[in-house]
């Protein structure tokens, strides 16, 4: 994912007044839009495909961490053991 572009930090009121334009921008450039309220970050708007990509990456990293934990705790099985069980 790309670093957050300060041009994509917008007040919630501006977003509310121009929702269609922001959705079109999001679909075109795929960069997240940070919405602020009273000068503080309030929400992040993401393209649905980018959101799914992030979710998939998190799930992959979770599985890698579980595998590394299995390796560390010696919870291992040989290929032959796996084939015999099935």
Range of the domain at 54: 6-74
Q: Is residue 1 part of a domain?
A: no
Question: Does residue 86 fall inside a structural domain?
Answer: no
Any idea what the CATH number is for the domain that residue 16 is in?
3.40.1620.10
Q: Which residues of the chain have pLDDT under 70?
A: 1-4, 86
Q: What is the pLDDT of residue 77?
A: 86
pLDDT at 5: 72
> Where are the alpha helices (H) located in the chain, listed in sequence order?
12-17, 19-29, 48-72, 79-85
Give the predicted TM-score (pTM) of the model.
0.69
SS3 of 41, please?
strand
- According to the model, what pLDDT value does residue 68 have? 95
Give the DSSP letter of residue 43: E
In a domain, residue 30? The reply is: yes
Number of domains in the chain: 1
Residue 18 lies in a domain: yes
pLDDT score of 2: 61
């Amino acid at each position: 994912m790309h670093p957050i572009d300060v041009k994509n930090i917008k007040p919630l009121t501006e977003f509310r007044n121009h929702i269609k334009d922001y959705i079109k921008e999001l679909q075109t450039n795929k960069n997240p839009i940070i919405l602020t309220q009273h000068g503080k970050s309030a929400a992040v708007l993401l393209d649905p495909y980018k959101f799914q990509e992030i979710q998939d990456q998190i799930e992959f990293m979770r599985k890698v961490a579980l595998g590394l934990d299995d390796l560390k705790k010696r919870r291992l099985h040989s290929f032959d053991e796996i084939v015999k069980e099935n």
